């Protein structure tokens, strides 16, 4: 069984998964994808889902880091990540939505973007802006400006400074909440204009260093072609979710699964399982054979096709 992560270096949600892979001590295949569409070697696996990152384990494909983390915990048979239940899940979801928006508002402010895009040619920078406008599709991913974001960040950092102590957010071992908060602050730390905002918070910086110390595991450079071949050569593992499907839905029924926020591209397939955590569809393509594509249930809309 081979684990493929489809990602690019600057992607913060990818960093969440890279550090999780380090935490689990994984050996994994790294497939670097372009930071903007098109991604012709990835789309046959996801069926159109366009956010980053995506994880594939042979013929099972995981879209969204919430379900990627769950798949990895299952794969490595280690549920410690979820030991703090509701509280840790709520903090993780807050970080992946609210804190994420704060960091995007800061890192996409005009001076920060100049620092980030400094090494891009003007036409590359324009293509990036155009791609992200397409991702948001008229709506705005972030609804406040850099000044408001700076105030949010200060507020949250002060709270975190008091919360982290010399361990992790919920005790001596990290939970899913640590990984979600970490990748957002990593994004801030990696922008030279915004990194100084973290400096006054010594406990937060020490906690970030503890998170970074998990590393990224053993990374093997790989390719989109290799991930497609691994999918084609394997049969997908059925989800075995157990729970009955919601009323009105039948196994094998044609459905679409669409993110409710941004990147709202419907993925079509046959319903293979759906419980409170996860929805799974089966799909076929020449490039991949039959694959099962997994999404979180919360934050995605399932509709009869």
Ligand X SMILES: N[C@@H](CCC(=O)N[C@@H](CS)C(=O)NCC(=O)O)C(=O)O
65 belongs to the binding site for ligand X (CB under 6 A): yes
Examine residue 52 and tell whether it contacts ligand X (CB under 6 A): yes
Q: Closest approach of Cβ 179 to ligand X, in Å?
A: 11
- Minimum CB distance to ligand X, residue 127 (Å): 12
Least gap, CB of 165 to ligand X (angstroms): 27
96 binds ligand X (CB under 6 A): yes
Is 62 a residue that touches ligand X (CB under 6 A)? no
CA gap 164, 208 in Å, rounded: 10
Given candidates 2, 51, 73, 94, which one binds ligand X under the rule CB under 6 A? 51
Residue closer to ligand X, measured from CB, 184 or 234: 184
The piece of 24-32, 63-71, 215-223, 243-251 that touches ligand X (CB under 6 A) is 63-71
56 binds ligand X (CB under 6 A): no
Binders of ligand X among 190-249, rule CB under 6 A? none
Site residues, ligand X (CB under 6 A): 11-13, 50-52, 64-66, 96, 135
């Amino acid at each position: 069984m081979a684990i493929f992560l489809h990602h690019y270096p600057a992607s913060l949600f990818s960093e969440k998964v890279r550090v999780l892979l380090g935490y689990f001590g994984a050996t994994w295949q790294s497939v670097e994808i372009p930071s903007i569409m098109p991604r012709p070697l990835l789309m046959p696996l996801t069926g159109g889902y366009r956010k980053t990152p995506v994880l594939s384990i042979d013929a099972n494909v995981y879209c969204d880091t919430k379900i990627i983390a769950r798949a990895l915990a299952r794969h490595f048979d280690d549920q410690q990540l979820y030991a703090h239940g509701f509280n840790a899940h709520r903090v993780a979801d807050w970080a992946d939505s609210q804190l994420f928006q704060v960091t995007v508002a800061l890192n996409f402010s005009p001076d920060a973007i100049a620092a980030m895009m400094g090494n891009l040619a003007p036409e590359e920078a324009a293509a990036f802006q155009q791609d992200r406008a397409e991702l948001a599709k008229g709506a705005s991913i972030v609804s406040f400006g850099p000044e408001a974001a700076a105030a949010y960040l200060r507020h949250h950092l002060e709270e975190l400074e008091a919360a982290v102590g010399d361990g992790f957010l919920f005790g001596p071992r990290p939970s899913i909440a640590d990984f979600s908060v970490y990748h957002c602050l990593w994004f801030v730390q990696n922008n030279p204009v915004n990194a100084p905002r973290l400096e006054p918070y010594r406990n937060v910086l020490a906690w970030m260093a503890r998170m970074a110390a998990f590393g990224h595991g053993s990374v093997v450079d790989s390719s989109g072609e290799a991930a497609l071949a691994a999918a084609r050569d394997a049969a997908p593992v059925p989800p075995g979710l157990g729970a009955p499907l919601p009323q009105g839905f039948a196994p094998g029924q044609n459905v679409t699964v669409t993110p409710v926020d941004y990147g709202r591209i419907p993925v079509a397939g046959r319903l293979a399982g759906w419980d409170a955590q996860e929805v799974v569809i089966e799909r076929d393509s020449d490039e991949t054979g039959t694959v099962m594509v997994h999404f979180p249930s919360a934050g995605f809309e399932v509709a009869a096709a």
